[in-house]
Amino acid sequence: MRIAVVGTSGAGKTTMARAIATALELPCIELDRLNWNANWQALSQTDPSEFVRRVTEATTASAWVSDGHYGLVRDLLWRRATHLVWLDYGRGLIMYRVIRRSIARALDRSELWPGTGNREDWRRWLRPSHPIGWAWRTWRQRRQRFEELLSRPQYGHLAVLRLRAPRDPMRVLRELKVPT
C-alpha cells in the first residue's frame, strides 16, 4: 500500500501522513524534508534532478505514506501510489492553521528539517513564498487543479478520499477501506 497525502500549505498533510504511517507501521516520506536544503535552498528549483532522484529513491519501497505536493514529482508519486488522501479544507481553516503553525514555529525556533538550519522567521512572513501568503493566494487554484488532475485517466487507479473537514487517521483508513 502506497498512500499520498496532498493539500495546500497548512492543511495538515505532515500530521495526517505521520498518523497514517504510524497506524499502518509504514515509512513516512516528507517531501519538504527531501526538498529543502540549508539556507532555504529548494532542490525542486536549484537542482530538480537531485530532488527527483531523492523522491525516486524514497519511494522504491513496496509500501509508504508520503506527504506534500510538488508538481515536479507528482506523476512519479501518483502513478506509484495506490491511495490518495486529499485534505481539501475551507480557506478559513487553512489560514487559521498556517498562521497558528507559523507563530508556533517562530516562537519555538526549532529547526524544521534536521541539518538544514532552516527555522521559521517572522521577518519572512510578507514574502510571497511564505506559506501564509502562498496558502491564501493559491487555495482556489490548487483545489481546481487537484480536481482536474484527479479526473485524468492515468490516475484512475487511485482510491481517493477527499476530506472537506478534519478527521482522525483511523477513520480515514476505514473510509479508504484500508485494513488496519
12: Cβ contacts below 8 Å, ≥ 6 apart: 87, 97, 166
Handedness of CA 16, 22, 28, 30 (dihedral sign): positive
| E strands in the chain | 2-7, 28-30, 36-37, 41-42, 64-67, 83-87, 159-163
Q: Domains in the chain, ordered, with CATH? A: 2-90+141-175 (3.40.50.300)
Measured between alpha carbons, how far is residue 17 from residues 27, 68, 121, 171 in Å? 10, 9, 25, 13
Q: How many residues comprise the chain?
A: 180
pLDDT score recorded for residue 180: 63
Residue-by-residue pLDDT tens, the chain, 180 positions: 999 999 999 999 999 999 999 999 999 999 999 999 999 999 999 999 999 999 999 999 999 999 999 999 999 999 999 999 999 999 999 999 999 999 999 999 988 888 898 888 888 888 888 899 999 999 999 999 999 999 999 999 999 999 999 988 888 988 888 776
